[in-house]
Amino acid sequence: DDKMFTEPLSHPDFFSVKELFTLKDLFDARVHLGHKKGCRHRFMEPYIFGCRLDQDIIDLEQTMQHLQLALNFTAHVAFRGGIILFVSRRRQFCHLVESTARACGEYAHTRYWQGGLLTNAHVQFGPGVRLPDLLIFLSTLNNVFEPHVAIRDAAKMNIPTVGVVDTNCNPCLISYPIPGNDDSPAALELYCRLFRMTINRAKDKRRLSEAAEELQ
């Protein structure tokens, strides 16, 4: 049993996450497009490749590395049966995110975030709640263009976070930031597809290894 959990950690890419996407896929999905120069956040400057006609272009090489790390991490969390919560406060993609979460068998929260959801969970839900083990942000900002409260709350409750950060977002408190576009529907559909595939892959591997253990 212990071996089942420690063995994946020795491989750098146990779930072969690199095969799921190529640089051309990211380019076609318009992931490299950022906001205008005036909206740029200071901490996003290392991830920006350059600026053309006042519009920031995100460095896709770095995005590839960050995306691979993030997907690898989500796969490991899903393999160990952790609760994953998809968070996004964009109204256009709320339905897409919820359907992705339902397809994976995980959870989503694309609505108004009540203050004490993570920090005051035992009072809001009941005495025996289990908090999410990973938060995935498909858009770090909320409807007023401020950092989502869940980033700060997850950091307070020691919950790791994965988030798609655009050029106007603050990547500080996010454990696995993914610099990339969070406004185009094509980019978001790509992210949803990638997360869904990684989580399903990890869960299938878990079921296979459990079946193999039972046979022994």
Q: Given candidates 16, 22, 120, 124, which one binds another protein under the rule CB under 8 A?
A: 124
Tell me what percent of the chain is helix, strand and coil, each rounded to the nearest 5.
50, 15, 35
Distance from C-alpha of 142 to C-alpha of 168, rounded to nearest angstrom: 12
In DSSP terms, 107 is beta-bridged to 85
Q: Is 157 in the site for another protein (CB under 8 A)?
A: no
Distance from C-alpha of 63 to C-alpha of 34, rounded to nearest angstrom: 13
Q: Binders of another protein: how many residues, by CB under 8 A?
A: 25
Q: Given candidates 36, 43, 129, 172, which one binds another protein under the rule CB under 8 A?
A: 129
> Do the beta carbons of residue 58 and residue 167 sit within 8 Å?
yes
Distance from C-alpha of 73 to C-alpha of 178, rounded to nearest angstrom: 12
The two tokens of residue 125 are 């839900």
C-alpha gyration radius of the chain: 18
Nearest distance from C-beta of residue 202 to another protein, angstroms: 15
Nearest distance from C-beta of residue 168 to another protein, angstroms: 26
Q: Is 92 in the site for another protein (CB under 8 A)?
A: no
The two tokens of residue 127 are 């005495």
Short-list 168, 172, 195, 193, CA closest to 180: 168
Nearest distance from C-beta of residue 119 to another protein, angstroms: 13
Q: Which of residues 7-66 bind another protein (CB under 8 A)?
A: none
Q: Is 108 in the site for another protein (CB under 8 A)?
A: yes
Q: Given candidates 95, 204, 210, 212, which one binds another protein under the rule CB under 8 A?
A: 95
Q: Is 179 in the site for another protein (CB under 8 A)?
A: no
Q: Is 143 in the site for another protein (CB under 8 A)?
A: no
14-22, 57-65, 95-103, 160-168 -> range binding another protein (CB under 8 A): 95-103
Q: Given candidates 24, 127, 144, 214, which one binds another protein under the rule CB under 8 A?
A: 127
